[in-house]
Amino acid sequence: MILQDKTILIANISGKRSTGWAIAQSLAKQGAKIAYTYQNERFGSDVKKLFEPLDAIDVGECDVTSDEDIDKLFERLGNSVNVLDGLIHTPAFAKQEDLSSNFVNTSRDGFRLALDISCYSLIALCKRALPLLEVRGGAVTALTYIGGEKAVKNYNVMGVAKSALESSIRYLALDLGPKNIRVNAISAGPMRTLAARGLKDFMVMYELIKDKAPLKRNINPSEVGDTASFLCSDLASGITGEIIHVDAGYNTIGV
């Protein structure tokens, strides 16, 4: 088990179909002690049930648009642990109209909201996690999508947010590297989570990737979970500032 004696915070998990839960299962299988959070109580009751069989720490709800919520989250976490070896970042959000209209119509408010939740939250969480992460060094891992590198139809402002997130990964890696904190992202292929199914024509894209990807299939969320476990482990001790693709090779092919 590659994560024995490591404590990892997953911020956050929305339910059994979420990538956060796929990651939690892999981390637990690899021996990690998991601390978890959720956006609000609407998600909380389902998420708590998922964790019942595991010996995990429920750190409660946290809306990442609120600095006060993030402060309180780490106050509560600090009451249960005095060291953190890993932080997994999953929040992403864009207004429905900004994912279904033309990109040129993106509103100022929609842009601000998407960038705040999907990118700034990583910086805000890292800042509060720092005192716990620097105790013995650690690993921060976020989730991104190819829409941050290339223009993907209907991904729109979320693609811009993912570009900013990927750039933040590199700047955070540079900032936190001297404290032996590594910062990376996993660029995952499409997975049929609830959030993804809200994207216009998601299933069309899902089928298309199956045909084009070198592995001729879509990925399983457990493969993202296992890559997160690797990145949080000492096996990845020399890797930071990277965007690792777990997409059945789709990003590597030309037209």
Residue type, position 4, single letter: Q
Cα–Cα distance measured from residue 228 to residue 245, given in angstroms and rounded to the nearest whole number? 11
88 within 8 A of 9, measured Cβ to Cβ: yes
Q: How far is CA 230 from CA 14, 15, 111, 166, 244, in A?
A: 22, 23, 33, 19, 11
Choosing from 36, 120, 145, 250, the catalytic residue is 145
Stretch that binds ligand NAD, among 76-84, 174-182, 190-198, 207-215 (CB under 6 A): 190-198
Nearest to 88 by CA among 185, 212, 221, 226: 185
Nearest to 12 by CA among 77, 97, 79: 77
- Known binding residue 4? Answer is no
34 within 8 A of 20, measured Cβ to Cβ: no
**Can residue 30 be called a binding residue for ligand NAD (CB under 6 A)?**
no
**Can residue 25 be called a binding residue for ligand NAD (CB under 6 A)?**
no
186 within 8 A of 132, measured Cβ to Cβ: no
Is 155 considered catalytic here?
yes
Residue from 188, 205, 213, 243 in contact with ligand NAD (CB under 6 A)? 188
Under rule CB under 6 A, which residues in 112-131 are in contact with ligand NAD? 117
- Known binding residue 64? Answer is yes
Between 63 and 175, whose beta carbon lies closer to ligand NAD? Answer: 63
Under rule CB under 6 A, which residues in 31-50 are in contact with ligand NAD? 39, 43
String marking each residue 133-152 x if it binds ligand NAD according to CB under 6 A:
----------xxx-------
- What is the maximal distance between C-alpha atoms in the chain? 53
Stretch that binds ligand NAD, among 58-66, 102-110, 170-178, 210-218 (CB under 6 A): 58-66
Cα–Cα distance measured from residue 71 to residue 77, given in angstroms and rounded to the nearest whole number? 10
Residue from 3, 9, 14, 86 in contact with ligand NAD (CB under 6 A)? 14
Helices 19-29, 221-232: axis angle to 10 degrees equals 50
R_g of the chain, CA atoms, integer Å = 17
**Can residue 19 be called a binding residue for ligand NAD (CB under 6 A)?**
yes
The number of C-alpha atoms within 13 Å of 253 and in the hemisphere containing its C-beta is 13
- Known binding residue 25? Answer is no
Between 126 and 196, whose beta carbon lies closer to ligand NAD? Answer: 196
Choosing from 155, 171, 206, 250, the catalytic residue is 155
Between 40 and 82, whose beta carbon lies closer to ligand NAD? Answer: 40
Is 145 considered catalytic here?
yes
Dihedral pair phi/psi, residue 190, rounded to 5°: -60, 135
List residues near ligand NAD by CB under 6 A. Answer: 12-14, 18-20, 39, 43, 63-65, 90-93, 117, 143-145, 188, 190-191, 193-196
Residue list, annotated binding site for NAD(+):
39, 63-64, 162
Q: Report, as residue numbers or ranges, the catalytic residues.
A: 145, 155
